[in-house]
Amino acid sequence: MLNFDEQRFLRIQSGAVAIGPSLDAVIGACLNKGAENIFFLGTGGAAILMQPAVQLLQRKSRFPVFTDLAAELVVTGSANLTEKSIVVIPSLSGTTKESVALLAKVKETGASVLTLVGHENTPLGKGGDHAFVNFAEDDTSCESFYLQSLLIALSILRHRGEIDNCDQIVRELEQLPQLLLEVKRSYEDKAEGFARILAGSDYHIVTGAGNVWPEAFYYGMCILEEMQWIRTRPVHASDFFHGTLELVEKGVSVILFKGEDSLRPLADRVENFAPAYTDKLTVLDTAQFDLPGISAEVRGLVSPIVLATVLERISAHLEVLRNHPLTTRRYYKRVAY
């Protein structure tokens, strides 16, 4: 595969799954001590990658779950953030400015802080009450963060008796690193074609629904905009029909991500509408990929992970086609802001 280290990928994703028992032990201890809610708080892409776990808890658990923008919460605080809160702060670098400031703010409340980082000797790697370190880099961090946050959500459901097959789900997740590698291999021959579509326009409407909507938002903002300087309009498939549809006409690129959770019909609605008005609808559907041994329920849970792993292959070809390395920046961490 183009510019890809298979063994590094397996180490990182297997490492994410291996953190599961430790995460479960910490969550269990926090709940036993009377934790009353959980906050998923991060900055930029890392925060977006927590959203599928937030959705899962909002829809399956009565345990209160909150999310906010780190920079705003530092300024405003929250009436729900107390010493009885669990706070999850993800940061690949462990040095994200807004998240480091947030850590100090959260510490003042006495909340229990779990940090998810890629590097230990960093402010967030050292500063959390419970720091979970799984080395990753930009091209492998999505799957890692998705897996870790999913394991946290499943742990809450299990300890609260709101799920009866958690152990089976986790066993299936343990198979995922190797299966994701096979997904990458199976898509490699098609990845350049999708990359050419992305390279062929300077503007894309990127949409999805359910737990793959965060991946649509993430890929538009953090990859196409930040790493490739391609203008995008990420919009939820529900909101697509409340404004954005008026921009759809011949020649306008619409990129639709489809997952396998219960919100898939919202994506179907976009897929049924767009071809009548644009000749540039492109669909990436997780249902097209084989995941032997993974149940329909778990396929729905891991749809954003599957999308992320396929999109990494597309991005690898995109940077070559455009002669624009994914690491090239004009402003991000290069100038003061």
Q: Can you give the pLDDT at residue 172?
A: 98
Query: pLDDT band at 330, cuts 50/70/90?
Result: very high
- Asked if the model's pLDDT at residue 246 lies above 90, the reply is yes
Fold of 6-164: Rossmann fold (3.40.50)
Per-residue pLDDT tens digits for 278-329? 999 999 999 999 999 999 999 999 999 999 999 999 999 999 999 999 999 9
Q: Can you give the pLDDT at residue 239?
A: 98
Say which DSSP state 276 is in: G
Do the two domains 6-164 and 175-321 of this chain adopt the same fold?
A: yes
What are the helix and strand counts (H, E) for the chain?
12, 9
Tell me the C-alpha distance between 187 and 315, whole Å: 12
Cite the beta strand spans of 92-239 per DSSP E. 112-117, 130-133, 203-208, 231-236
> Can you give the residue ranges of every domain in the chain?
6-164, 175-321
Q: Can you give the pLDDT at residue 92?
A: 97
CA torsion through residues 292, 213, 236, 332, sign: negative
Can you list the alpha helix ranges (DSSP code H) found in 34-140? 44-48, 51-60, 70-76, 97-109, 123-127
Question: Minimal CA–CA distance to 80: which of 62, 68, 98?
Answer: 68
The mean per-residue pLDDT over the stretch 130-149 comes to 97
Residue at 305: amino acid letter: I
Question: Minimal CA–CA distance to 46: which of 102, 3, 86?
Answer: 102
**Could you tell me if 130 and 5 are in contact, meaning their C-beta atoms sit under 8 angstroms apart?**
no
Element (H, E) at 112: strand 112-117
Q: 38 forms bridges with which residues in the sheet?
A: 65, 86
Question: Minimal CA–CA distance to 194: which of 218, 224, 229, 234?
Answer: 224
If you search the block for the tokens 């249902």, which residue do you land on?
287
Superfamily of domain 175-321: Glucose-6-phosphate isomerase like protein; domain 1 (3.40.50.10490)
- Asked if the model's pLDDT at residue 213 lies above 90, the reply is yes
Residue 247, judged by CB atoms within 10 A of its CB (0-12, 13-18, 19+), counts as: middle
